[in-house]
Amino acid sequence: MSVNTHPKTRRSFSENVNVMYDRAAVILKLDPGLAEMIRQCNAVYQVRFSVKLKGELRAFIGWRALHSEHRLPAKGGIRYSEIANLDEVEALAALMSFKCAVVDVPFGGSKGALCINPHEYDEDELEKITRRFSRELIKKGFISPSVNVPGPDLGTSAREMEWMCDMYRTLCPDDINAVGCVTGKPESQGGIRGRVEATGRGVQYGIREYFRNPKDVKKAGLSGGLEGKRIIVQGLGNVGYHASKFLSEEDGAIITGIVERDGALLDENGLDVEKVHQWRLERGTIKDYPDARFIEDGTSFLENECDILIPAAIEGQIHERNAARIQAKIVAEAANGPVTSNGDDILRERGIIVIPDFYLNAGGVTVSYFEWIKNITHIRFGRLERRLDEIRGHHLVDVLEQMTGQKVPGELSAKLVQGADELDLVRSGLEDTMHLAYQAIRDVWLENEQVEDLRTAAYVVATRKIACSYNRAGL
Ligand code: GLU
């Protein structure tokens, strides 16, 4: 098996992750043995299987990598991608370990992939393939609510998670927590509200956190809040779409560019993300979109002037050959590994701020954690206390009205008497998570002179927690 290297560098994806992690391990003065233990992927299961499609046997290859087990279950998505390979899966599993640690999700890190172009198959075929792949993983303990819990990733969604969950229930009918064997399921099948938008929502909250701190904003050579900031987003998949939609519709940011596989759209006055998204859904391309300039060469469009560049597609997009030409003040990594370690060095030297992937895109796994808790507790969030909150709200309105002799305005009173539902709780839990994690990263960044950037700070925060768990376990 060939280890694919990043498109534009000589280091493989996992080598890139290791280089970045090593910097933190040195700063933390980790014992070399422990540093190595954290760096390595603990186990990888490679599976080859065949499925009969249209009367012919088709062969597939897939992986599930288990990077760390200091906390169980291990967590991470399963992607369907034609360019999936072992090295990529290992790198992504490592990022999951750091991601969970940095946002205090008590899970180890894992990742899976199936080498497939899902667009080449119809729904029935994909179901057959997914059921077969998951059966192989379940047999070896690589899917289980207590040991290893996949979630959606590139090329997979609630649909695939439902098939996997159903397969697990069929094979392990006596597991009372079976529904917690995967996350990102449809709401009707044990999923949680707000999971589909969660990664994009987390990107929005993470960028907001950065802009909440004027000192940090100044470091990027900017001032003020998110309102009016010009953003270029690469990739209008689930993450890029939700992040750019929320940032433009709720925070007043202007999406000046959208880069896709087949080119880029430019409108200095701001693109309507929802309209572009609908256009792309209907036609499968952003070409011919009527309300913007179309630029054929999407890749070099990343180098256009903007305040924030959000790479939300795949790894290795900013590298040693284009980093010197990036004009954004902030690179907000919504994808996993969009900047290579060489690219990262160049951006840092040029004073461009990078908000690192495993913090910024942790919204997905954070809400997956909420979903898993819901599954193993067998109760929907808010079920016990919602009515009580409403009654308390009514009391509060009564007291206010009695004491002031005035009526509480209708809109305010409606807010006070409304108990939080599942979506409210998920959003507030996610916002709080992104807030606390940013503060922890920021403290390390600003207080330790060896720590030059947010990425290294995030690795320090995450690695310290993982090392602490391993030490406690006496390993
Ligand atoms: N695929 C997402 C990630 O890379 C979420 C994984 C999960 O929910 O397990 O973080």
Write out pLDDT tens, residues 274-325.
Answer: 999 999 999 999 999 999 999 998 889 999 999 999 999 999 999 999 999 9
Residue type, 145: P
Selecting among 111, 229, 245, 465, the annotated active-site residue is 111
Residue-level pLDDT at 9: 47
For residue 99, the surrounding DSSP H or E stretch is helix 86-102
Of ligand 1's atoms, which has the minimum distance to the CA of residue 149? 9
Residue 27 amino acid letter: I
β 56-66/43-53 pair status: antiparallel
Q: Whose CA is nearest to atom 8 of ligand 1?
A: 365
| Ligand 1: lining residues by beta carbon, under 6 Å | 75-77, 99, 151, 153, 183-184, 336, 361, 364-365, 368
Instruction: Determine the Cα–Cα distance for residues 275 and 89; give it in Å rounded to an integer.
Output: 34
pLDDT tens-place string over residues 389-416: 999 999 999 999 999 999 999 999 999 9
Q: What is the pLDDT of residues 156-213, one digit of tens each?
A: 999 999 999 999 999 999 999 999 999 999 999 999 999 999 999 999 999 999 999 9
User: pLDDT below 70 — which residues of the chain?
Assistant: 1-9, 474-475
Q: Residue 256 has what pLDDT?
A: 98
pLDDT at 471: 81
DSSP secondary structure letters along 216-276: HHHHTT--S-STT-EEEEE--SHHHHHHHHHHHHHH--EEEEEEETTEEEE-TT---HHHH
342 vs 314: CA distance, rounded Å: 17
Active site residue 52: no
Q: What is the pLDDT of residue 475?
A: 63
Domains (ranges, CATH) in the chain?
A: 1-9+194-385+420-443+452-475 (3.40.50.720), 41-191 (3.40.50.10860)
The three-state secondary structure class of 414 is helix
Q: What sign for the dihedral angle of Cα 445, 450, 456, 461?
A: negative
pLDDT at 298: 87
236 Cα to the center of ligand 1, angstroms: 17
pTM for the whole thing? Answer: 0.94
Task: Compute, in angstroms, the gap from residue 314 CA to the centroid of ligand 1.
Answer: 14
179 alpha carbon – ligand 1 mean position (Å): 17
Which structure tokens are listed for 194? 């707000």
* 452 closest CA partner among 344, 362, 343: 344
β-pairing verdict for 263-266 and 254-260: antiparallel
Instruction: Print burial letters for 43-53: b (CB count within 10 Å at least 16), e (below 16).
Output: bbbebeeebee
Tokens of 243: 């992040």
Please give the order of strands across the beta sheet that includes 43-53: 43-53, 56-66, 108-115, 74-81, 148-152
What distance in angstroms lies between residue 239's CA and the mean position of ligand 1's atoms?
A: 11
